[in-house]
């Protein structure tokens, strides 16, 4: 396959699996990479408990990286979150370099990408996939100038933390493609080969999916959550304001509480204080407890009709690659 994303990242198919906070682990990520895509360890990969220590967070990631290496000899990625204070960023960056991870997914808000992060990664020969919270022309040009290898254009169709701009995936993708020389990957709401084909028609050279990979045999999400996704469609999703902008979830008692707060005029800050912790994803999606958690997925869940293996999902998506 003559594809720049595949060539840059050293993979067979330009299909990237989203990091999805708590619901990745070594077994799942290795399965994606072994299937020909790029598996990516999320911020809490393989974990079931919270730590507030940057050093312990980094060492947990080191252990999961080593487990993944035992399960695949293909490239895989690790998530590096760039935020205002960077206190978790630096310890994980050091681990990624020390462990020889081949690809890094930089997740960041606009303005947090700096040469201080890019330079050591480039010097270590690590390929950089940059995925800002909200893609903009200015941010894309800046990231390209700094030397990122691949840019992810995320639309409002995604699950998890939504962009601050309400612009859909198939609108933002060509906007970003038209101003960059580096390859662009489309993210948000892609659930089958038709979505993949559409993204490529708009100039994307790869796709980035999270929700599509949750109802797979290898994913660590609760079985009840996988079945809920299979049984649901985009029409079932709830949307509510929070920080930094919006979240969406399949209906759970806790998600309905957050929607009610929004409808009653609570501020984004108030809603975030109640439901803004990543633990609500752990409770809702890893443990499958709706009373205290959410099931955040994107609008691309509609075509998901059964729980499959990762290999089956990758093969089906790859049918849409042009």
DSSP-derived secondary structure for 26-65: HHHHHHHHHTTSB-EE-TTTT-SS----HHHHHHHHHHHH
Structure tokens at 7: 């060539």
The answer to the question of residue 141 being in a domain is yes
The answer to the question of residue 226 being in a domain is no
The answer to the question of residue 84 being in a domain is yes
Q: State residue 1's pLDDT score.
A: 63
Q: How many independent structural domains does the chain possess?
A: 2
Same domain, 172 and 86: yes
Q: State residue 88's pLDDT score.
A: 86
Q: State residue 82's pLDDT score.
A: 81
Residues of the chain short of pLDDT 50, as ranges, are: none
Same domain, 256 and 131: no
The answer to the question of residue 94 being in a domain is yes
Structure tokens at 234: 């985009």
In whole angstroms, what is the distance from residue 50 CA to residue 55 CA? Answer: 13
Same domain, 254 and 310: no
Domain enclosing residue 312, as ranges: 4-219+306-318
CATH assignment at residue 107: 3.20.20.70
pLDDT in tens, 127-159: 999 999 999 999 999 999 999 999 999 999 999
Same domain, 205 and 108: yes
**Is there a contact between 230 and 305 (Cβ–Cβ < 8 Å)?**
yes
Structure tokens at 247: 């979240």
Q: State residue 318's pLDDT score.
A: 98
Q: Using alpha carbons, select from 97, 104, 95 the residue that is nearest to residue 149.
A: 104
Instruction: Give the number of other Cβ atoms within 10 Å of residue 253's Cβ.
Output: 11
**Is there a contact between 271 and 179 (Cβ–Cβ < 8 Å)?**
no
The answer to the question of residue 248 being in a domain is yes
| Crossing angle between the packed helical segments 310-318 and 193-201, to the nearest 10 degrees | 40
In whole angstroms, what is the distance from residue 193 CA to residue 158 CA? Answer: 17
pTM, rounded to two decimals = 0.96
Q: State residue 127's pLDDT score.
A: 98
Same domain, 270 and 153: no
Same domain, 192 and 131: yes
Structure tokens at 56: 């312990």
Q: State residue 109's pLDDT score.
A: 72
Same domain, 114 and 150: yes
Same domain, 32 and 141: yes
pLDDT in tens, 253-286: 999 999 999 999 999 999 999 999 899 999 999 9
Same domain, 179 and 261: no
Matching residue, tokens 């998506």: 317
> Following DSSP, what letter does each residue of 133-193 receive, concatenated?
SS--HHHHHHHHHHT-SEEEEE-TT-SSS--SS---HHHHHHHHHTT-SS-EEEESS--SH
Same domain, 213 and 250: no
The answer to the question of residue 36 being in a domain is yes
Same domain, 287 and 311: no
Same domain, 311 and 291: no
Q: State residue 322's pLDDT score.
A: 83
């Amino acid at each position: 396959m003559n594809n720049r994303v595949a060539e840059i990242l050293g993979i067979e198919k330009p299909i990237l699996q989203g990091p999805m906070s708590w619901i990745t682990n070594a077994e799942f990520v290795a399965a994606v990479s072994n299937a020909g895509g790029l598996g990516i360890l999320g911020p809490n990969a393989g974990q079931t408990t919270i730590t507030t220590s940057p050093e312990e967070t980094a060492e947990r990631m080191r252990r999961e990286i080593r487990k993944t290496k035992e399960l695949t000899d293909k490239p895989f990625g690790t998530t590096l979150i760039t935020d205002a204070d960077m206190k978790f960023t630096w310890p994980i960056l050091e681990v990624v370099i020390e462990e020889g991870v081949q690809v890094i997914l930089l997740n960041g808000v606009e303005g947090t990408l700096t040469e201080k992060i890019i330079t050591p990664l480039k010097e270590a020969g690590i390929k950089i996939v940059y995925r800002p919270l909200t893609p903009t022309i200015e941010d894309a040009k800046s990231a390209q100038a700094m030397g990122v290898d691949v840019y992810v254009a995320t639309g409002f169709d995604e699950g998890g933390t939504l962009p601050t701009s309400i612009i859909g995936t198939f609108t933002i993708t060509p906007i970003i493609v038209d101003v960059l020389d580096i390859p662009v990957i489309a993210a948000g709401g892609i659930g089958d080969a038709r979505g993949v084909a559409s993204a490529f028609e708009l100039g994307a050279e790869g796709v980035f999916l999270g929700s599509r990979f949750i109802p797979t045999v290898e994913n660590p999400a609760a079985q009840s959550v996988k079945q809920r996704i299979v049984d649901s469609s985009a029409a079932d999703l709830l949307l509510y304001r929070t920080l930094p902008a919006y979240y969406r979830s399949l209906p759970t008692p806790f998600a309905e509480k957050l929607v009610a707060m929004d409808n009653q005029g609570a501020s984004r800050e108030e809603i975030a204080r109640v439901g803004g912790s990543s633990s609500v994803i752990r409770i809702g999606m890893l443990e499958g407890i709706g009373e205290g958690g959410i099931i955040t997925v994107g609008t691309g869940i509609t075509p998901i009709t059964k729980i499959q293996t990762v290999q089956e999902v990758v093969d089906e998506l790859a049918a849409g690659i042009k």
